[in-house]
Amino acid sequence: MIRAILLDKDGTLTDFRATWEAWMPTMIHALAHESGAEADTVAKAFGFDLATGRIPADGLFVTAPGHVVTAGVASVIGWPTARLSRWLAPRSHVVRQVMVPGVPQVLARLHAAGLPIGILTNADEAEAHRHLIGMGIGHLLHRVIGCDSGFGAKPDPRGAADFADALELPRGSVALVGDGRTDMAAAKGAGLVPVAVLTGTLGHADLSPLAEAVLPDITGLPAWLATRGIGVPAA
Q: How does pLDDT run along the chain (235 residues), one tens digit per residue?
A: 899 999 999 999 999 999 999 999 999 999 999 999 999 999 999 999 999 999 988 788 888 888 899 999 999 999 999 999 999 999 988 888 999 999 999 999 999 999 999 999 999 999 899 999 999 999 999 999 999 999 999 999 999 999 999 999 999 999 999 999 999 999 999 999 999 999 999 999 999 999 999 999 999 999 999 998 888 887 6
Residue 229 region by backbone torsions, left for phi larger than 0, else alpha for psi between -120 and 50, else beta: left
Per DSSP, what are the bridge partners of residue 194?
176
Residue 3 to residue 21: CA distance in whole angstroms: 35
Enter the pTM of the model.
0.91
Helices (H), the chain: 16-20, 24-35, 39-46, 60-63, 66-77, 81-93, 103-112, 125-134, 158-166, 181-190, 204-207, 221-227
Residue 210 to residue 60: CA distance in whole angstroms: 20
**Cα angle vertex 70, ends 68, 73, to 5°?**
110
